[in-house]
Structures are given as C-alpha cells and as structure tokens.
Amino acid sequence: MIPRKLRLQLMERAGNRCEMCGRGCMGEALSPHHKLHRSQGGKDTPENLVMICNSCHLLQHGVRSVKS
C-alpha cells in the first residue's frame, strides 16, 4: 500500500490527470502504478510511480475491458 503522504505528492504532481496516456483519455488519475513492479524490485518512490486513471491501470495489467 502506498503511504498517504506519497499518494498526495503523486496526485499533486499529476494535477488529477492520467500520467500514462496524458491527453489520450484525460481520465482522472486515481490509481498509483509502479513503472517497475514491486515483484521486480520496484520501490515506492515518486520516480517509480505514476498516477493513472482506472482505464489505463486495467490496460497496464492486461485487462481489456470490464463488464458491468
């Protein structure tokens, strides 16, 4: 789990915009995502984390769509 202070820092940096696709979806950045996953040695640092929208987060993890 990402510490609250770090999450707030990331949200401020992102300006509530998805840092993954930028202008593509213009989705609200709600989810922190590791560039290098923790399982591969990635750390919880601002340099290794981006704030992304839920749609982009699902795509990053191989989920193409969500059924309602």
Question: b/e for 34-54, b at 16 or more Cβ within 10 A?
Answer: beeeeeeeeeeeeebbbbbbe
| Cα torsion 62, 8, 29, 26: sign | negative
Q: What is the CA radius of gyration of the chain?
A: 12
> At residue 65, what are phi and psi to the nearest 5 degrees?
-155, 165
User: Considering the entire predicted model, what is its pTM?
Assistant: 0.75
pLDDT 10s digit of each residue in the chain, 68 long? 899 999 999 999 988 888 887 655 666 778 899 999 999 999 999 999 999 888 888 888 777 655 54
- Any residues with CB less than 8 A from the CB of 26 and at least 6 apart, and which? 17, 18
